[in-house]
A and B are shown apart, each in its own frame.
Chain A
Amino acid sequence: MARRLPTVFLVAAAFIFPYCVQRIFLHTPIEREMGTAQKIFYFHVPLAWLMMAFAIVAGIAAGIQLRRGSLRAEATALAAAEIVLLTGIGVLVTGPIWGHATWGHAWTWDARQVTTGLHWLIFAAYLLVRRYGAAGSDRLAAALAIFGAVNVPIIYYAVKIWKTTHPSNEVVGSLPAEMWASLWPALIALALLSIALLLVRLRQELTDIALDEAWIRLNERGEA
C-alpha cells in the first residue's frame, strides 16, 4: 500500500484540481477591491503554508540526521527541501504577480517578501551544498536546513513585527464562507500533490543510496 500512496495522492489531486478551478472561477464571488486578481490567493496562500510546513519537516529530519546519522532522515530532509524550493518558487512568482495587479508593484521589499526570499535562498543553498559539497558537507547542509526551519516563524510574524504592505495573518481567518469553501479544496489538492512528489523523491533518494552501496560492494568483490 505504501508503494501506491504517491499514485493514490496524484490521482486524488488530479480530480480535486479541476473542481478547485471551477469553484474559484464560477462559484466564488469576485473580491470588491482587488477584483479578479484576488483569485491568485487560492493557490498562493496554500503554497506558502506548504512551503513553511515542508521547511519544518526538512529541519526536523535534518536534526534527526545530525543526531542519529540516519540515512532515511537525510533522504527525507533532501526530498522536503526540494518541495520547499518548488513551492517557494510558486509563492515568489504568484505573490509578485498579485502584487503587481493590486499594489502596482511586483516587489516592494516588504518584510514578508524579503523573509520568504531569504527562506528560498537558504534551501537553495542547502541543495547546492548537498549536490556540490565535499565529503562531510552533509552536516553543514543539515545545519542550513535547521536554520531554514527556524526562519518559518520569522516569515509568519514578519507582518506583525514590521510595517508591511502585505495583508496580515488575520485576513485568512476573516474570509467569508464562500471563499473558505474554495480555499480548502485548493489546499488539499496542493498538499496531496506535494506529498506525492515528496514520497516519489524520497524513494528515489533511498534507491540512490542503495545503488551506491551496491556499487561499492561490487567493486570490493571485484578487487578481492
Chain B
Amino acid sequence: MNEEYEPVEGLDRASKACVRACEAEAAAKTASDYQHIVWAYGILWALFAAYGVLLWKRASRQRVELLDLERRLRETP
C-alpha cells in the first residue's frame, strides 16, 4: 500500500486525490484573491478623493463669495 495515502473510511484513493486537488485549488484561489482587495482599496481611496474635491470646491465658492463681499463693501458708502 502506498504510504502517502492513509486508508480513510468512505474515500478511495481517487476520491481523496480529487478532494486534495480541490482543496489546493481553493487555497490557491483564497491566497490570490486580489479582486476583492482592488475593489475595497479602490473604493476607499476614491471616497476620500471625492470628499477632498468636495472640500476644494466649497473653498473655491467661499473665495468667490469673499471677493463679492469685499467688492460690495467698497461700493457701499
Interface bits B52-77 vs A (CB < 8 Å: 1, else 0): 10010011001001100100110010
Contacts of B19 in A (CB 8 A): none
Contacts of B43 in A (CB 8 A): 90, 93-94, 97
Range class of the B interface residue count: 20 to 34
From 16 to 49 in chain A, residues with beta carbon under 8 angstroms from any chain B beta carbon are: 21, 30, 33-37, 39-40, 43-44, 47
From 6 to 22 in chain B, residues with beta carbon under 8 angstroms from any chain A beta carbon are: none
From 170 to 215 in chain A, residues with beta carbon under 8 angstroms from any chain B beta carbon are: 193, 197, 200-201, 204, 207-208, 211, 214-215
Given A90-B47, A94-B40, A211-B62, decide whether A218 and B72 contact each other with a Cβ distance below 8 A: yes
Whether, in the assembled complex, A222 has its beta carbon less than 8 Å from a beta carbon of chain B, the answer is yes
Q: Is the CB of B55 within 8 A of A201?
A: yes
Range class of the A interface residue count: 35 or more
Whether, in the assembled complex, B32 has its beta carbon less than 8 Å from a beta carbon of chain A, the answer is yes
Given A197-B52, A218-B69, A218-B76, decide whether A43 and B44 contact each other with a Cβ distance below 8 A: yes
Q: Give Cα A222–Cα B76 distance, bound, in whole angstroms.
A: 7
Contacts of A207 in B (CB 8 A): 62
Contacts of A208 in B (CB 8 A): 62
Having A36-B33, A37-B36, A86-B48, one finds 20 other A-B pairs with CB under 8 Å, namely: A33-B30, A35-B27, A35-B29, A36-B37, A37-B37, A43-B44, A44-B40, A82-B51, A86-B47, A94-B43, A97-B36, A98-B40, A200-B55, A204-B55, A204-B59, A204-B62, A208-B62, A211-B65, A211-B66, A211-B69
Chain A to chain B: the 3 pairs with minimum beta-carbon distance, closest first: A35-B30, A101-B36, A97-B40
